[in-house]
Amino acid sequence: MSMPEPLRANILVAGDSLAAWMGALAFSRWRPELAVAVAPYHGEDSPIADPVVIARPEFRKLMAQLGLTEADLVSECDGTFLLATRHAGWTGEAAVFHQALGTFGAPANGAAFHHYYQQMRAAGQAPSYGTFSLATSMALAGKFIHPAANPRALESAFDYRIAIDAAKLRDLAKHRALAAGVTQFSTKVMGTAWSDGRIRHLLLDGEQSAEVDFYLDCTGTARGLTGAAGWTGIQALPYRRETGSVETGDGNLSLATVTASPDRWTRELALRTRRVTETFSCLEDGLAHFGYLAVPWRGNCVALGRAACDLPALHAPAFSLLTRELGLLGALLPADPATARVEAREYNRRALTAFGHMRDAQALFEAASARTQGKPSPDLSDNLARKIEQFTSRGRLVMYDDEILSDSEWIACLLGLGFTPECVSPLAMAASVDAVCDNYLRFAKRIRQAVERMPDQQTYIQHMLAEYAKETGPDAV
Amino acid sequence: MLSDQTLGTILIVGGGTAGWMTAAALSRLAQNGHTKIRLVESDAIATVGIGEATIPPIVGFNQILGIEENDFLAKTQATIKLGIVFDGWLQPGEAYIHPFGEYGLDINAVKFYQFWLKYRESQKLPYIDQFCLPAVAAWSNKFLKPGNDPRSVLSTLSYAYHFDATLYAAYLRRLAEARGVVRSEGKVVDVALRSEDGFIESVRLESGEVIEADLFVDCTGFRGLLIEGALKTGFEDWSHWLPSNSAVVAPSERVAALPPYTRATARDAGWQWRIPLQHRTSHGHVYCNSFVDDQTAQDTLMAGLDASATDEPRYLRFTTGRRKKFWNRNCVAIGLSGGFMEPLESTSIHLIQAGISKLIALMPDMSFNPTERDEYNRLTGIQFEQIRDFLILHYTANQREGAFWDYVRNMGLPASLEEKIALFRSKGRIFRFQDELFGEANWLSVLLGQGIIPRTWDPLVDTMDLAAVLGDMRQIYQAIQKTAEGMPSHQDYITRYCPAPPV
Ligand SMILES: Cc1cc2nc3c(=O)[nH]c(=O)nc-3n(C[C@H](O)[C@H](O)[C@H](O)COP(=O)(O)OP(=O)(O)OC[C@H]3O[C@@H](n4cnc5c(N)ncnc54)[C@H](O)[C@@H]3O)c2cc1C
DSSP B263-282: EEEEETTEEEEEEE-SS-EE
Q: Which of residues 361-400 of B touch A (CB under 8 A)?
A: 361-363, 365, 369, 371-372, 375
- Indicate the SS3 state at residue B85: strand
- Percentage of chain B surpassing pLDDT 90? 86
The minimum CA-CA distance between B121 and chain A, rounded to whole Å, is 19
Candidates A18, A318, A15; CA nearest to A167 is A18
Is A377:A293 a contact under the CB 8 Å cutoff?
A: no
Hey, are the CB atoms on A330 and B460 less than 8 Å from each other? Answer: yes
| Backbone angles phi and psi of A98, in degrees to 5 | -120, 135
Question: With an 8 Å Cβ cutoff, is A427 touching chain B?
Answer: yes
Lowest average pLDDT, out of A277-286, A375-384, A401-410, B28-37, goes to A277-286
Distance B87 CA to ligand 1 centre (A): 27
Cα(A379)–Cα(B315) distance, rounded to whole angstroms? Answer: 55
The average confidence (pLDDT) of chain A is: 91
Residue ranges per structural domain of chain B: 9-52+164-235+321-368
Enumerate residues lining ligand 1, CB below 6 A: B 13-19, 40-42, 45, 47-48, 50-54, 165, 187-188, 219-221, 223, 225, 247, 284, 286, 316, 318, 335-337, 343, 346, 348-349
**pLDDT tens digits along A94-129:** 899 999 999 999 999 889 999 999 999 999 989 999
User: Comparing B431 with B194, which gets the higher pLDDT?
Assistant: B194
User: Comparing B171 with B426, which gets the higher pLDDT?
Assistant: B171
Select the residue of B419, B427, B434 nearest A399 (Cβ to Cβ).
Answer: B434
Is A300:A199 a contact under the CB 8 Å cutoff?
A: yes
pLDDT of A475 reads 53
In angstroms, what CA-CA distances link A398 with A355, A406, B380? 18, 11, 14
Contacts of A394 in chain B (CB under 8 A): 361-363, 371-372
Contacts of A396 in chain B (CB under 8 A): 361-362, 375
Q: State the ipTM, two decimals.
A: 0.83
In angstroms, what CA-CA distances link A208 with A214, A227, B144, B196, B480? 18, 20, 68, 78, 58
Of the CA atoms within 13 Å of residue B53, those in its CB half-sphere come to: 25
pLDDT of B94 reads 95
pLDDT of B427 reads 77
pLDDT of A340 reads 81
Confidence of residue B433 (pLDDT cuts 50, 70, 90): low
Residue B3 has pLDDT above 90, yes or no: no
Q: Which of residues 7-36 of A touch B (CB under 8 A)?
A: 29-33
**pLDDT tens digits along A15-25:** 999 999 999 99
Contacts of A419 in chain B (CB under 8 A): none
Question: With an 8 Å Cβ cutoff, is A107 touching chain B?
Answer: no
* Residue to substitute in B50, B185, B262 for testing ligand 1 pocket (most ligand atoms within 8 angstroms of CB): B50
**pLDDT tens digits along A203-212:** 999 989 999 9
pTM for the complete prediction? 0.89
**pLDDT tens digits along B120-176:** 999 999 999 999 999 999 999 999 999 777 778 888 899 999 999 999 999 999 999
Select the residue of A350, A403, A425 nearest B361 (Cβ to Cβ).
Answer: A425
Residues of B identified as active-site = 81
**pLDDT tens digits along B185-229:** 999 999 999 999 999 999 999 999 999 999 999 999 999 999 999
- Indicate the SS3 state at residue B152: coil
Lowest average pLDDT, out of A301-305, B86-90, B105-109, goes to B105-109
- Indicate the SS3 state at residue A132: helix
Of the CA atoms within 13 Å of residue A111, those in its CB half-sphere come to: 26
Residue A477 has pLDDT above 50, yes or no: no
Select the residue of A401, A424, A426 nearest B360 (Cβ to Cβ).
Answer: A426
Contacts of A119 in chain B (CB under 8 A): 1
Name the residue in chain A with its Cα closest to that of B30: A430
Disruptive mutation site among B1, B108, B118, B385 for chain A (greatest number of A CBs within 10 Å): B1
Name the residue in chain A with its Cα closest to that of B423: A342
Specify the amino acid at residue A124.
Answer: G
- Percentage of chain A surpassing pLDDT 70? 95
Name the residue in chain A with its Cα closest to that of B421: A342
Q: Which of residues 312-371 of A touch B (CB under 8 A)?
A: 330-335, 340, 342-343, 345-346, 350
Lowest average pLDDT, out of A285-299, B183-197, B389-403, goes to A285-299
Domains of chain A: 7-81+164-234+289-349 (3.50.50.60)
Hey, are the CB atoms on B429 and A332 less than 8 Å from each other? Answer: yes
The secondary structure element, H or E, covering residue B66 is: none
Report the pLDDT averaged over residues A176-185.
97
CA B76 to mean position of chain CA atoms: 17
Cα(A32)–Cα(A26) distance, rounded to whole angstroms? Answer: 10
Contacts of A68 in chain B (CB under 8 A): none
Question: With an 8 Å Cβ cutoff, is B223 touching chain A?
Answer: no
Q: Which of residues 383-422 of A touch B (CB under 8 A)?
A: 386, 389-390, 393-394, 396, 398-403
Q: What is the CA radius of gyration of chain A?
A: 24
Report the pLDDT averaged over residues A386-406.
94
DSSP secondary structure letters along A53-94: EEE-TTHHHHHHHTT--HHHHHHHS--EEE-EEEEESBTBTT
The minimum CA-CA distance between B270 and chain A, rounded to whole Å, is 33
Is A100:A410 a contact under the CB 8 Å cutoff?
A: no
Is A334:B422 a contact under the CB 8 Å cutoff?
A: no
Atom of ligand 1 nearest to the CA of B55: 11
Disruptive mutation site among A65, A329, A429, A433 for chain B (greatest number of B CBs within 10 Å): A429
The minimum CA-CA distance between B432 and chain A, rounded to whole Å, is 9
Residue A32 CB neighbours (<10 A): 12
| Backbone angles phi and psi of B265, in degrees to 5 | -105, 130
Distance B165 CA to ligand 1 centre (A): 9
pLDDT of A288 reads 55
Contacts of B369 in chain A (CB under 8 A): 393
Confidence of residue A4 (pLDDT cuts 50, 70, 90): confident
The minimum CA-CA distance between A254 and chain B, rounded to whole Å, is 29
Hey, are the CB atoms on A342 and B369 less than 8 Å from each other? Answer: no
Distance B503 CA to ligand 1 centre (A): 24
**pLDDT tens digits along B252-311:** 999 878 999 999 999 999 999 999 999 999 999 999 999 999 999 999 999 999 899 999
Cα(A369)–Cα(A92) distance, rounded to whole angstroms? Answer: 8
Distance B343 CA to ligand 1 centre (A): 12
CATH class of B9-52+164-235+321-368: alpha beta
Question: With an 8 Å Cβ cutoff, is B459 touching chain A?
Answer: yes
Contacts of A339 in chain B (CB under 8 A): none
Within A77-203, where are the H helices?
Answer: 113-122, 134-140, 166-179
Name the residue in chain B with its Cα closest to that of A60: B109
